[in-house]
A = this chain, B = another copy of it.
Amino acid sequence: PRDVLHRLLEGLQTADKNGYGDGQHHQGLMLESKPTPVVGIGLDSCVIPIRHGGLFLVQSTAFFYPLVDDPYVMGKIACANVLSDVYAMGAVEVDNMLMLLSTSNKMTEKERDTIMPLILQGFKDCAEEAGTAVQGGQTVINPWLIVGGVATSVCTQNEIIIPENAIVGDVLVLTKPLGTQVAVNAHQWLENPDRWNRIKSVISEDDVRKAYQRAMNSMARLNKIGASLMHKYNAHACTDVTGFGLLGHAQNLAKHQKHDVSFVIHNLPIIAKMATISKACGNAFGLLQGTSSETSGGLLVVLPREQAAAYCKDIQAQEGYQAWIIGVVEKGGRTAKIIEKPRIIEVPAKDTEGELW
């Protein structure tokens, strides 16, 4: 189904669709007077020159079906994910958010009146945390509950990092651990004996619950500081890791580079024990192959080698979260790969009673 959706969106692209990598089109940044629609997987934040003052419009939109059972956190996750696409372009000042919401016609009135305000509040609080506000939107009724939104930033050119300048010798940094999809699924399996029986020999219920809490915490976390620090440490390119998994987004980013480079990933930081579950399921998720879908994942940032450690340290200092150097930029044909036996980094390395990370 992903391919289908992708093909549909490609329908938005005009005849001039071979724009990527020719030095004229930059992931939606159109330098011609008449912009050409360009929608890339994972690079769905468009950047459009506007009529006034040499400014650019950076916009992203996304909507989601609930994947966690806490409506307030779900609102935050949706908001964080919508913002993440704009942050991936280096734009950190968001001028407005719209919210897209659908109640489910399967909910009772009481369920609706309990759940929907919590989702709204979570979304709104997250927007506020990001220094912006929700000032518009639409709500409809649908069989499935939907929560999503639109983030818009009007920027000067120097607020944007065009993600096409990776050079040989750069390194790849990831700002959140992988494994959100596995954690969310494993948590659902606690209620599904058939599924649970398949993994219970490798993980305890408590570990699943903790991984789920970590995943929720990670998905609800903004990529704003990581984005802001890209300017300080001279990042050459960035994308955020969401539905197409680490490798999918890395490949897409590689494809858009100006220089003959390839990305090689050596390390996979993963929410503790999720690699174990993934293996126990016969790699059904593709977590170790980098194809497991993530929601509101981290930024994958291409940085000069000498800046990368300082970038990670600065994130740790400002947010208290780890970031990891996970790979290198080599000479190549604009592709990305994960080495055969990547190092799995368990996040956190050690479980501390009463603490999440």
A-side residues, CB < 8 A to B, are 1, 4-5, 8-9, 11-12, 28, 30, 34-39, 44-46, 48, 50-53, 55, 57, 59-63, 65, 93, 95-96, 98-101, 103, 112, 116-117, 120-121, 124, 133-144, 146, 148, 150, 152, 154, 156
Contacts and interface: CB of A to CB of B under 8 A. Distances in A.
Contacts of A134: 12, 37
Contact of A12 (B44, B96, B120, B143): B120
Nearest to A153: B50
Nearest to A132: B35
14 contacts: A5-B103, A5-B139, A8-B103, A9-B101, A11-B116, A12-B99, A37-B124, A44-B138, A51-B93, A51-B95, A61-B138, A63-B140, A65-B140, A142-B143
A168 to B, nearest CB: 31
Contact of A61 (B4, B9, B100): B100
B93 A152 contact: no
Contacts of A53: 52-53, 55
A216 to B, nearest CB: 21
Given A63-B140, A137-B39, A150-B61, A112 B4 contact: yes
